[in-house]
Structure 1
Amino acid sequence: MKVLIIDEMHESIIPLLNEIKLEVDYMPKIERHDIISIIGNYDGLIVRSKTPIDEALLGNAQKLKFVGRAGAGVDNVEVEALKKRKIQLINAPEGNRDALAEHAIGMILTLFNKINIADQEVRNGIWDREGNRGVELMGKTIGLIGYGNMGEAFAKRLSSFGCKILAYDSEKTGFSNEYVKEVNLEEIFKEAQILSLHIPMNLQNKGLINYEFLNKFSNLDYLINTSRGEVLVLKDLLKLLKDGEIKGAALDVLENEKIRSLASEELSVFQEITQLKQVLFTPHVAGWSFESYEKINKILYHKIKKLIRNIDNL
């Protein structure tokens, strides 16, 4: 079987796939039109986010048996197009859940303790203890929207801080345990002081977290988004921050992450929100550690190995 890799991957991927007798063509610089022209030669395709895996790209993929997404999100993949062709979709959320959970903890502790602000002030000769007084995470009630691999990993870390952790997931039930309580959205709205988003980007979730949604909370002070930027309407968050309805936010993702080519309204919102000291940003790196880069390969390897075994047994 032949596999085409069209994005940059950790160097371990080729020997891992060779181990299960796969012939690998590693082409991280390949352009979309070239992918379309040669995809008919391959049984497997491994991607990150270079190009949409859609009807146009799959038109010549007569042999394709699987698409491996090197990461958690599959919003760049037309899932129905794969199902129609009986092509298996494999992703690797287990590979970067630990990195994301640790990053989210780091962001919330930085935000609560004004570590980024205090660091810059001290570097500029300002020694302001009172102005940088922190907020304790211990005892806070945290609401998670989405409880997949990422939400669960984050909840496990939060449990050591003595937090009350509530979680709602529209696609799963029965996951309450010693550190998280499964609840409905109404309970999240009523109790959560901190909201953390762990939902995928799809048609149902696009723009879900908007002004109307956030106004339903009774006690919300902080928001964290390490999922996908498009699920949160940035201009609505900005208004709530400016009005003092929300005290702060930690954002690893944005609605439009191509910040050098924002439209005028997007640019205005971006410029205004980045001036707020109570908002912390990172550039979509929550799940992007040195360790997760390699872990993702190992997860894909094991899932592809299992898939091939099942194909051979047919």
Structure 2
Amino acid sequence: MEQKVIFLDTVHPILEQRLTELGFNCIDGSEWTFEETKSKLKDAFGIVIRSRFPMNEDLLANAVELQFIARSGAGMENIDEVYCNSREIVLFNAPEGNRNAVGEHALGMLLSLMNKLHTSHQEIRKGKWDRDGNRGVELDGKTVGIIGYGNNGRAFAKKLRGFDVKVLAYDKYKSGFGDDFVMEATLEALVSKADVISFHIPQNAETIYFANQEFFDALGKPIFLLNLSRGKIVETAALIRAIDTGKVSAAGLDVNEFEKSSFEAFFDDEASIPENLKSLLHSDQILMTPHIGGWTNESYFKLSNVLADKISDWWLERQP
């Protein structure tokens, strides 16, 4: 029987190439509408997705032959894992594929914020030459707190090894990961001691608005905040208040809680932009990027190649 793998998003061609070599029939469904997709999944053996459609029961109930879903990325919040587990649909993701890119992006954002590269560049373009107003802060000697010590948190810690910093890491679901450079810490200790706090956790019911008013009130000193995980980890209103009160010196946001597939549409009608988003856009203490922390030329290949490795291992183990 022919095993069809439907590609609902565009990914690096190495994945299609390697799956074809394994004998799968790879079909491009990246231009299908949601309704078209529902009608064409009946005999799908596998699905490859980034984030175009939610992988929920409404969609997947039509894929009666489905055996696996492969997500080109790390986060799985757009996949109904409970439903998939109930049907024994195997789920693959590829956090190994973009962890280095995330680590580099986090470090770049931090150094830009601490040295005011983003604001001084804009000032120079407007003809303003202000050295004293753009005096920076050095990273050496600081304490960096990493919340979430999976692939991305660990990658960021690795990038920090070239600096004379103390690294504290907290992970609710891991222990025993401390080493000669990274010190395992409680959340309370990290929040009270850190000069920099970087989020690398998944978005789920436990973590939405992790950085809320209570979190910022508990800070032991003003911090530089980084969020390269998911937008709703940080409550924007609470962050704005923390900046206004001096609890947060500056924040680097690769993601934000207003992010969605139609994010660009906000800028077609300024009146539709939420007030809190306007505050982010107009603040010199905020550096934003459009969710590109793990989006490099190299990671584009690695994400698909990692998925190919995982699917290949799984498939070959199933063979008699």
TM tier relative to shorter chain: over 0.9
> What's the counterpart of residue 201 of structure 2?
199
Q: Cα RMSD over matched residues?
A: 1.6
Change (3 A) 1:220 1:159: farther
Asked if structure 2 preserves the Cα contact closer than 8 Å seen for 1:91 and 1:300, the reply is yes
Q: CA deviation at 1:16?
A: 1.7
> What's the counterpart of residue 5 of structure 1?
7
**Distance in 2 between residues matched to 1:116 and 1:205, nearest whole Å:** 29
The answer to whether structure 1 residue 174 and structure 2 residue 176 are counterparts is: yes
Identity %: 39
Query: How many residues in Structure 1 have an aligned counterpart in Structure 2?
Result: 313
Give SS of 1:247's match: strand
**Distance in 2 between residues matched to 1:99 and 1:136, nearest whole Å:** 23
> What's the counterpart of residue 265 of structure 2?
260
Give SS of 2:130's match: coil
Which of 189, 202, 208 lines up with 2:210 in the alignment? Answer: 208
Q: CA deviation at 1:20?
A: 1.6
Asked if structure 2 preserves the Cα contact closer than 8 Å seen for 1:156 and 1:179, the reply is no
**Distance in 2 between residues matched to 1:259 and 1:230, nearest whole Å:** 18
Which of 239, 244, 249 lines up with 2:246 in the alignment? Answer: 244
Q: CA deviation at 1:14?
A: 1.7
**Distance in 2 between residues matched to 1:116 and 1:56, nearest whole Å:** 44
Q: Which runs of 5+ in 2 are unaligned?
A: none
Q: Which runs of 5+ in 1 are unaligned?
A: none
Q: 1:199 is matched by which residue type in structure 2?
A: I
**Distance in 1 between residues matched to 2:54 and 2:29, nearest whole Å:** 16
Change (3 A) 1:71 1:165: same
**Distance in 1 between residues matched to 2:248 and 2:234, nearest whole Å:** 14
Q: 2:110 is matched by which residue type in structure 1?
A: I
Change (3 A) 1:7 1:23: same
Q: Deviations over 1:157-182 (max 9, x none)?
A: 01211211111111111111122111
> What's the counterpart of residue 285 of structure 1?
292
**Distance in 1 between residues matched to 2:31 and 2:173, nearest whole Å:** 37
Q: CA deviation at 1:233?
A: 0.3
Q: What are the equivalent positions in structure 2 for 1:1-314 lying under 5 Å apart?
A: 1-257=3-259, 258=263, 260-261=265-266, 267-313=274-320
Asked if structure 2 preserves the Cα contact closer than 8 Å seen for 1:92 and 1:299, the reply is yes
Q: 1:83 is matched by which residue type in structure 2?
A: N
Asked if structure 2 preserves the Cα contact closer than 8 Å seen for 1:2 and 1:42, the reply is yes
Change (3 A) 1:67 1:222: same
- TM-score, structure 1 normalization: 0.96
Change (3 A) 1:19 1:179: farther
Asked if structure 1 preserves the Cα contact closer than 8 Å seen for 2:221 and 2:247, the reply is no
**Distance in 1 between residues matched to 2:79 and 2:66, nearest whole Å:** 14
